[in-house]
Structure 1
Amino acid sequence: MTRPPRDQSTPKHPGPRATANGNLAVPPPPRASAHSGSPPQMKKKTRVRAGIVGSGFSATFHYHSVSRIHGTDVEVVGVHSKDTTGGRAYAESREIQFFDSLDALIEHVDVVHVCVPPMFHEAVSVAALRRNRSVICEKPLTGYFGDGSPDFHWDRCDKQQALDVALASVARFFEAESASRGRLYYAENWVYAPAVQKEREILVKTGGQILWIHGEEAHSGSHSADYAHAARCGGGVLIGKGCHPLSAALYLKRVEGLARGGPPIRPRTVSARAHALTRLGTFRDEGHIRCNYYDIDDFAL
């Protein structure tokens, strides 16, 4: 779901650009003319006020990433969380403010870090964009969160309807950004991994072609309790974990197309398989991987 960046020759507004892992990248100061005889002017440090929505795992590493930014004065003003106890503890341990409402947090910041379960991504992001704040949204950007019925189960849902609803959600994100002075940044960190950026550099400089891409994301299971339920996380590993290598592959094919003087190369067709291995009757729980999923797929290709 990584959105291609706008033409950088006509930025929407000045200021730092957020990378997909939550960091902010500031353009280097202009060089002094060799013939001017004047020393280079010191560029005033940009100040960014950031707010975090959520107080769990992703909120923790977003805060840590922001604290490591150099060249930009980033102040984490505060946090808002529906988990009041956890949110207050998060704020107190970092000596930042706890906001009782999302609106109050948005009022005091320039950038909102969306670190809540995927079922809330759209609502929080759109609310911030409507107030002309920029948004750094965790992955997956959105998904299908069911029909609202208490007995919703991913195995039994209409997958075409799920796709249509998810794409409509993506469209609402982009519509909100188009009407805003803020920007939407999707937090996909594989795109900014050194190995991927090195490959991008090679493609740009050589005009080379990619014949085959193979990517994989595999581990013992998500830390999030919400990840067990499709109605909260929007889907299983195909979207929640597959988004990492898929985003990198789509990004590199886009770079390849532009580097060779053509349009971005986009997929023509997509095929996928998804399975729920840990929900099989023959599965043996030996304690190595998480297996308490309610209705999501836990293996996909």
Structure 2
Amino acid sequence: MAKKTLGIGMVGARYGARMHYANYMNLTPGLVEIRGVCSLTKVSADAFAHDMGIPFATTELDKLLVRDDIDVIDICSPPATHHEIAIKAAKAGKHIIMEKPLTGYFGEPGDPEPIGLHVARSKMREGARRNAEAVRNAVRANNVLFCYAENWVYAPPIVKMRNLIAASKGSVLEFRAEENHSGSNSVFSKEWKSMGGGALLRMGAHSVGACLYLKQWEGQQRRGKSILPVSVIADTADLIHTDASDRARKENAHQWISSDPVDVEDWANVVIRFDDGSRATVLVSDVGLGGLNTRVTAYMTDGVIKANMTANDVIETYAVDPNTFASENFIEKLETKAGWNRPSCDEDWFRGFAQEIEDFIHAIQDDREPLAGIDLAVDCVNVIYAAYQSAEEGRIIHL
């Protein structure tokens, strides 16, 4: 019996939405149909609809939610809008696909601005926790599926790492996860009220999510129950505005780095302790040149496994002129195509974007939980905001 074509309503019309759309188009024909898009402005909604051939564009979310032919709401809007849209979608009986992070703290009436410079991280942590639990409660109360777009969980290098861990007889003593590049191009990334944090939330959600997922999975394999995080200790900084970068600014030697925070961090280091005594170390940075760098290393009792989601040497190029290969994508955030470079063959596949969309659609079709769901999304928020509190208070925070 043929499966029903799922109607998708997209919320957001920028980079994330366009990436999701591209990967929907790689699915088996007939599985999905993009039937509408909602964006903050009519201009962006109409442009996205025109470019992608979507028949309906609006600035009003309710006009998507009331449509019987839309089964799934795909949320690719700025993080400050995530939890409210998700709750409305769940109450409307729509399944949810959401770009990370699930939510955060975005300020309350009376908070002095910029909130990242004035609001205590303990207050932020409690607010983020409330938002996350409100989404989880809405999802469960309305019996809809929540698909958390954490692509690292689906990336082939991480899948192979998981298989290798299963093949060994040893245990993971430490995960080391890293993501860095030269700064976000998003106008929303500079302020806490829009993003809910800086590099730690925006980028660290990947590293933290992968480590939490892998430890939970390892626990289920080794002892029949998940291995859970119990505490964090962290440090954060806005490195591009420190004394260390003064000389670079005077000499105009920092033009390759686009990071320019108002009240968020562009660097963070977090150590997570798990209930089996193992650790995960997470390092994220918005001030690292050389293109996108994403990797996870598993240090085990009987081996070491290194998973690299971006750089590989399947293809190598050399160019004197950076415009030689200008029209072809290499890797995200690469500053120049001059010199030696290693372009990704298929960045969406290698980083797990294609696989996550495929899993989400089949999970909804088959009425099963996706590999990355609401619990992982909530756990990531809780760990990251505990890390923010740890960095501010200079102490271990217990979960």
**Equivalent in the alignment of 2:212:** 250
Q: 174, 190, 203: which is aligned to 1:228?
A: 190
Question: Retained in 2: the 8 A contact 1:208–1:256?
Answer: no
Question: Retained in 2: the 8 A contact 1:229–1:296?
Answer: yes
Q: Where in structure 2 are the equivalents of 1:213-292 lying within 5 Å?
A: 213-283=175-245, 284-285=248-249, 286-292=254-260
**Equivalent in the alignment of 1:28:** none
Change (3 A) 1:191 1:153: same
Question: Retained in 1: the 8 A contact 2:41–2:59?
Answer: no
Corresponding position: 1:296 with 2:255? no
**Equivalent in the alignment of 2:36:** 78
Cα shift at 1:140: 1.1
Change (3 A) 1:213 1:72: farther
Corresponding position: 1:137 with 2:95? no
Corresponding position: 1:116 with 2:77? yes
**Equivalent in the alignment of 1:5:** none
Partner SS, residue 269 of structure 1: strand
Greater mean alpha carbon deviation, residues 62-71 or residues 132-141 = 62-71
- What per-residue deviation string (whole Å, max 9, x for no partner) do you get for residues 96-130 of structure 1? 11134111112231111101111000111110000
**Equivalent in the alignment of 1:16:** none
Cα shift at 1:68: 0.8
Cα shift at 1:181: 2.6
Change (3 A) 1:202 1:287: same
Which whole-Å CA distance do the structure 2 matches of 1:293 and 1:102 have between them?
Answer: 30
**Equivalent in the alignment of 2:298:** none
- Identity over aligned pairs, percent: 32
Partner SS, residue 216 of structure 1: strand
Cα shift at 1:262: 2.9
Q: 58, 70, 73: which is aligned to 1:99?
A: 58
TM-score by length of 2: 0.62
Which whole-Å CA distance do the structure 1 matches of 2:26 and 2:93 have between them?
Answer: 26
TM-score by length of 1: 0.82
Question: Retained in 2: the 8 A contact 1:45–1:71?
Answer: no
**Equivalent in the alignment of 2:299:** none
Which whole-Å CA distance do the structure 2 matches of 1:155 and 1:217 have between them?
Answer: 25
Q: How many residue pairs were aligned?
A: 259
The one-letter amino acid of 2:255's match is: G
Partner SS, residue 120 of structure 1: helix
Partner SS, residue 123 of structure 1: helix
Partner SS, residue 217 of structure 1: strand
Question: Retained in 2: the 8 A contact 1:217–1:241?
Answer: yes
Unaligned stretches of 5+ in structure 1? 1-42
**Equivalent in the alignment of 1:23:** none
Question: Retained in 1: the 8 A contact 2:179–2:204?
Answer: yes
Question: Retained in 2: the 8 A contact 1:51–1:78?
Answer: yes
Aligned alpha-carbon RMSD (Å): 1.6
**Equivalent in the alignment of 2:145:** 183
Partner SS, residue 37 of structure 2: strand
Q: Which has the higher strand share?
A: 2
- What per-residue deviation string (whole Å, max 9, x for no partner) do you get for residues 16-41 of structure 1? xxxxxxxxxxxxxxxxxxxxxxxxxx
Unaligned stretches of 5+ in structure 2? 270-399
Q: Which has the higher contact order (CA 8 A, sep 6+)?
A: 2
